[in-house]
Chain A
Amino acid sequence: MRQQCLTRALTILAVLCFAAHLLPAQDLFEIKFTDKANVKYKGLLVIFNDSKMYMRVAYNAENMYKVVNVDYKSEHGKTDGSEYLVLLGSNPKFITAAGQYGYNPDHIIFLENQEKPYLTDNPDDTSKLLHADSFKALTKQEINDAYLREFYSSTESDYLALRKMFGMDLSTLKLKPNVNTNTNTAGTTMHLIIAANTNIGDIGMSCTRDQSSLTAEFKGIASSLGISYKQYLINGDNFTKAAVQNTLNGLYPGTNDIVIFVYRGHGFRWNDQQGAWPQLDMRSSPYTRIGDNTALDLDYVFKTIKGKGGRLNIVLGDCCNSTIDMPSPLTGSEFLAMQANNNYNDDKLRALFMNTKGNLLATAASPGEVSWANNANGGFFTVSFLQSLREEISYLRDDAADWRDLINNTVTGARRKSSTGVCSNCTLQNGIYHYDVTPKN
């Protein structure tokens, strides 16, 4: 019985992992299903984030090959103690000729104990429920021009963007490091500092996951930009205030360097604290008491990094900002697992990382609020940041990459993930940020 429950719990996590309230950004999924009249459908689900996605559905009917576009949004919740996720379809539009019949958009239902989802075009009639024939995340190797042409016409902007994204457009292939007349990447280093409380019992697994996602993402970005990459990991038994301070003391970024600091762990605020930014709880054992030697002000980290003189400084705190019943010490110092796909639009990457200067400080929750995580996906704020980053630098986006959009979308994404419609047991987290990024002269 216990094994059944465990399997069930893991299945919930697996389902939520790829499809629930922490949907990965810019990933492609394929779903195949057959209706009662034995018509076979093949869908390409394109996910931007958990509130923005569409599916192209290809099928043969009326002696015609048809493709229809359906918009989707996700809803997640709990019924009778069980988790569910439904992708609600709307606004069907034919890409090919419509023929005589229209298309009722399908709703896709993920149940906690089913690997393949159910579909229905009529939520009020359970007799119309279909079990998908297959459902999978698509790998880069599975996507080629012929595959995309099953769903897109050759002139569609998303078709062209996906071709670029998956390296099919020879004109976009560039030797790396990319020689761009507008940016000088020579001598630029990206410094990624991650402090992640990977040992702590309650959130350690989610911190480990976020650490993996962040390192893979930024390493890929540095590689795409053709710049040097240095990583500093403060985790496990080394997760201490001293280790962060030593790392910051030993950090000497050049004037064209990028410094990114991400904190994943517990956070809090003293009960007499005035400032808005949280205290980072640098303890990896519950036996260690909270005090001046374990608490680190996120604002202090930001000011320290800012003072190092790097060109672009990004400081993120994915932690709570709720009050504990302790005053500040007198001597105190200032949710489908994402895989980095590295399909970056180099021009947008450069706009974001190479053509900007300044500072960005953000944290997951407002004063008095908690922030949320889960073991399958990581911290809601970190996941939202990575989703927003990918969306911002995507081939599928037409507008220019911009840090303010990115951090706005991060805060909005984390808030949505913690809203009752998505996470029934969560309380709302409203991230806050300080933004001072301008174009590089």
Chain B
Amino acid sequence: MCLLSVVLLGNKSCSSKALGDFVNLLKTSDKVELFAVDAFPTAAQEQTLDATYVADYKVLEFIPTDPVEATSLTLAAVEVKNFDLINVKNCPFMAKYALRFSKGKDRVTMVISSAPCGKARMIFASGAKERNLELTPENSLEAAIQKIVSKPLIK
């Protein structure tokens, strides 16, 4: 295996570029919002005025984040090691959280399906085709979200 290491050391991975162009927006976003959302999206014609939707997912709860937490979410969202770019799980996407990254009028929403069916769905406000990503088993993105949602409330 040491040969492989030597040989492969010359191969720099595409790093975050492998995830797509939206990574730049994520990295330079000036606003990151975290939501708990419904498991399935709601078609536009079925959405109601008394509810809030993020990328068609009904918001169940807005989860406030401080700047440090927002940074940890951003870093985890652009970390290529958190995503399996080759293999996919044959399980249904069940949304649990949504991360909305904004910079000016540009917005990208990353909808998260949690373990054991860890997946992410990138949805672009521009209307660009959505991107499906597979979360790795020990990814830091779900861990970062879990750390935020499990913190004790200060009253």
Contact, CB under 8 Å: B17 / A319:
no
Contact, CB under 8 Å: A111 / B87:
no
Bound Cα distance A237, B8 (Å): 43
Chain A residue numbers with a CB within 8 Å of B9 are 80
Interface size on A, residues (CB 8 A): 68
Does chain A have a CB within 8 A of B62?
no
Does chain B have a CB within 8 A of A9?
yes
Contact, CB under 8 Å: A126 / B7:
yes
Residue of A with least CB distance to B9: A80
Bound Cα distance A62, B130 (Å): 62
Does chain B have a CB within 8 A of A289?
yes
Bound Cα distance A289, B42 (Å): 9
- Nearest-neighbour CB distance to chain A for B95, whole angstroms, equals 8
Chain B residue numbers with a CB within 8 Å of A371 are 89-90
Bound Cα distance A120, B21 (Å): 38
Contact, CB under 8 Å: B7 / A287:
no
Chain A residue numbers with a CB within 8 Å of B39 are 289-290, 325-326
Chain A, residues 99-127, CB within 8 Å of chain B (1/0): the string is 00000000101011100001010011110
- Nearest-neighbour CB distance to chain A for B21, whole angstroms, equals 7
Contact, CB under 8 Å: B2 / A124:
yes
Given that A111-B8, A287-B41, A324-B92 are contacting pairs, would A81 and B13 also be in contact in the complex, using a CB cutoff of 8 Å? yes
Contact, CB under 8 Å: A319 / B90:
yes
Does chain B have a CB within 8 A of A154?
no
- Nearest-neighbour CB distance to chain B for A328, whole angstroms, equals 15
Chain B residue numbers with a CB within 8 Å of A8 are 14
Does chain B have a CB within 8 A of A355?
no
Chain A residue numbers with a CB within 8 Å of B1 are 123
Within 8 A of A (CB), among B76-111: 80-81, 84-94
Bound Cα distance A310, B40 (Å): 40
Chain B residue numbers with a CB within 8 Å of A126 are 3, 6-7
Chain A, residues 366-384, CB within 8 Å of chain B (1/0): the string is 0011111111100100000
Partner of B87, one of A120, A288, A325, A425: A425
Contact, CB under 8 Å: A86 / B4:
yes
Partner of B92, one of A107, A109, A268, A372: A268
Chain B, residues 111-128, CB within 8 Å of chain A (1/0): the string is 000001101010000000
Does chain B have a CB within 8 A of A427?
yes
Chain B residue numbers with a CB within 8 Å of A320 are 89-92, 117
Contact, CB under 8 Å: B15 / A427:
no
Partner of B90, one of A124, A326, A373: A373
Bound Cα distance A156, B129 (Å): 56
Does chain A have a CB within 8 A of B140?
no
Given that A287-B43, A288-B40, A370-B91 are contacting pairs, would A9 and B85 also be in contact in the complex, using a CB cutoff of 8 Å? yes
Contact, CB under 8 Å: A202 / B42:
no
Residue of A with least CB distance to B89: A370
Residue of B with least CB distance to A118: B7
Bound Cα distance A370, B134 (Å): 13
Bound Cα distance A4, B3 (Å): 25
| A interface residues, Cβ below 8 angstroms from B | 1-2, 4-5, 8-9, 12-13, 16, 79-84, 86, 107, 109, 111-113, 118, 120, 123-126, 129, 201-203, 206, 264-268, 281, 283, 286-290, 318-320, 322-326, 335, 364, 368-376, 379, 423, 425-427
19 A-B pairs with C-beta separation under 8 A: A80-B12, A83-B86, A111-B7, A111-B11, A123-B2, A202-B119, A202-B134, A264-B90, A265-B90, A268-B92, A281-B92, A287-B56, A324-B117, A325-B94, A364-B90, A370-B91, A371-B90, A374-B87, A425-B136
Could you list 9 further interchain pairs (A-B, Cβ under 8 angstroms) beyond the known A111-B7, A266-B91?
A12-B86, A84-B8, A111-B11, A201-B130, A202-B134, A268-B92, A281-B92, A326-B39, A370-B89
